[in-house]
Amino acid sequence: MVSEQQVRDWVEGYVRAWATNSRKDIAALFTPHAEYHEWPYETDWVGREEIVDGWLDRAPWQEGGWVFAWSVLTVNGDTAAIEGTGRYEELGTCANLWTVTFDENATCTMFRMWNNQV
């Protein structure tokens, strides 16, 4: 079981990692064998190192600035649903739905994101 506070802490870490683009910050979010899947971009990164490398390839998306608003929709056992809206100067606005599955240490084992540009 993961608590809502643990989910909030993890999302805050995710946003911090997006801002810093620090390999250490990104890696801290995911277990060694985590999976990261994203639609409609057909992103399938498997393993912490692949997730970190893929994440860092997206650093140009942040050029010009960005903001991200989010909320926890629900927590069920080891999985949480999170909604978010990212507003990027370069990309525009993206509405997201995430499901995140956690291990016993509240570290992500499975990340799924659905994106819709608004």
User: H or E stretch including 54?
Assistant: helix 48-57
**From start to end of the chain, where are the E strands?**
30-39, 43-46, 66-76, 79-88, 92-102, 108-117
At a CB cut-off of 8 Å and minimum separation 6, what does 60 contact? Answer: 90
Q: Into how many domains does the chain fold?
A: 1
Q: What is the pTM of this model?
A: 0.92
Q: What pLDDT is attached to residue 90?
A: 79
Q: Cβ–Cβ contacts within 10 Å for residue 47, how many?
A: 15
Q: Which domain holds residue 24?
A: 4-117
Quote the mean pLDDT of the chain.
94
Which tens digit of pLDDT belongs to each residue from 9-19?
Answer: 999 999 999 99
Q: What pLDDT is attached to residue 118?
A: 61
Q: Cβ–Cβ contacts within 10 Å for residue 94, how many?
A: 18
Q: What pLDDT is attached to residue 9?
A: 98
CATH value at residue 102: 3.10.450.50
Q: What is the 3-state secondary structure (H, E, C) of 79-90?
A: EEEEEEEEEECC
For residue 40, name the pLDDT band (cuts at 50, 70, 90). Answer: confident
**Quick check: bond before 40 cis, omega within 30?**
yes
